Amino acid sequence: MSGTSTRSLAVPAGLLIGCAVLAAALAMGIRQSFGLFLAPMTEAHAWGRSDYAFALALQVLVNGVAQPVCGQIADRIGGRAVIMGGAVLYGLATLGMALTDNLALFTLFAGLGMGIAVSAAGMPVVIASLTRLLPENLRGRAVGLGTAGSSFGQFLVVPIAAQAIGLLGWQGALLFLAGLTLVMIPLALPLTDAPAASKVGVADNETASHALSRAMRSGTFWCLFFGFFVCGLHVSFLTVHLPGFVHLCGLPLYVGAGAISLIGLFNVAGSLISGELSQKWRRRELLVAIYATRGVLMTAFFFAEKTTATVLVFSALMGLLWLSTVPPTVALVARNFGTRWLATIFGLVFLGHQVGGFAGAWVGGLVFDRTGSYDQMWIIGILASAFAALIHLPVRDPTPRPLAVPAE
């Protein structure tokens, strides 16, 4: 039996996974609630909606650029300290959003500060820390749970934030969320993945620069990067534009809101299923199947009559595929490039996701402004699915080599 499956844990696996899931849930849920503040804050400060939207779009880009940097810091000093620092910055940035009425300062807090905070305290660093701490036979399930936790946070925290706005006003609700971010600090305590405790393995003694160089010379890295770009493009396009598209089809606004909620809810199941399948199937083939199925689903929806039923069925099925790409992608990064610099290298792959996310949101709006329709964007999304399915075919999916168990 391999050493990775027998290595004893300083903290019980259940506690590790539970704290990581809750931390990821808070990080994602609070971030996803900021769209609720667009209307009351722009009205209160006489800002344009595009001004507020730009700050959140900047947050996505900063998150993508900062993710490899935060990942490398986590790889050097351990994830716990980075997540705790990110939680503090998260709270300060949210506090700044609540207290400033200056648009430039708001953009600084919501865009730059929040983008860095989410990179430090968000899902990639949490999952990388969890992956390093757990034995190989638990990693796929744990990553699935961590990804599901993010979606559960969206499903749970966004309604709480909406209730807080109703009870406390938008400013009081932001202050409440600022305090809620600090709960991530105790949740990070079990994530003691210090580099000194790293397992002895093939790539564990590499320097960060050598590991990055090795990854970026690999075709597998770039296949994963551009595949994740497509994932981000799909996610942002649908998150930002699906409610508006549904309304253009003559359906009530609540159908669009329900569609986004269903995506988040079904993504919990999709992420868990993907995590389990990542332990049993070849991860390369799983990614090919996920992206190909997205393309088929988007094509069917594009040609279908747009009714409440078709919208909700599409949303539920798309939710199963939403972030199901994360567990196999993390597993492939770990298996190809090791776990020593996992947060750094996965952070670079995640940058592709965020660049794709910016493109999905921006290009979707650009296409609509120029054509008065989202038809071209749906076609782009369908073609992107085919591209992502094909680009994963050359990905290396090696079987991990068992580590020697010291004789007792």
Q: Are residues 75 and 174 in the same domain?
A: yes
Does residue 131 lie in a domain region? yes
Which CATH number goes with the domain that contains 144? 1.20.1250.20
Q: Which two structure tokens, joined as six digits, stand for 304?
A: 């279908």
Q: Do 387 and 283 belong together in one domain?
A: yes
In a domain, 407, yes or no: no
Question: Is residue 5 in some structural domain?
Answer: no
161 and 243 fall within a common domain: no
In a domain, 286, yes or no: yes
Q: Can you give the three-state secondary structure of 302-326, one letter per residue?
A: HHCCCCHHHHHHHHHHHHHHCCCCH
Please tell me the predicted confidence (pLDDT) of residue 386: 97
pLDDT digits (tens, 9 = 90+) for 15-62: 888 888 888 889 888 887 887 787 788 889 988 766 777 787 788 889
201 lies in some domain: no
pLDDT at site 193: 67
Same domain? For 30 and 177 the reply is yes
Q: Which two tokens stand for residue 402?
A: 């068992």
Residue 406, domain member (yes or no): no
Low-confidence stretches of the chain (pLDDT < 50) are 1-7, 196-203, 401-408
> Which of 150, 172, 194 is a domain's end point?
194
Whether residue 171 lies inside any domain: the answer is yes
Taking only the tens place, the pLDDT of each residue in 15-28 is: 888 888 888 889 88
* Domain extent at residue 249: 207-397
240 and 152 together in one domain: no
Residue 362 lies in a domain: yes
Q: What is the DSSP string of 374-399?
A: SHHHHHHHHHHHHHHHHHTTT---PP
Claim to verify: residue 236 and residue 381 sit in the same structural domain: yes
If one counts the domains in the chain, the total is 2
Among residues 145, 173, 194, the one where a domain terminates is 194
Domain end among 194, 220, 244: 194
pTM higher than 0.85 for the full model?
Answer: no
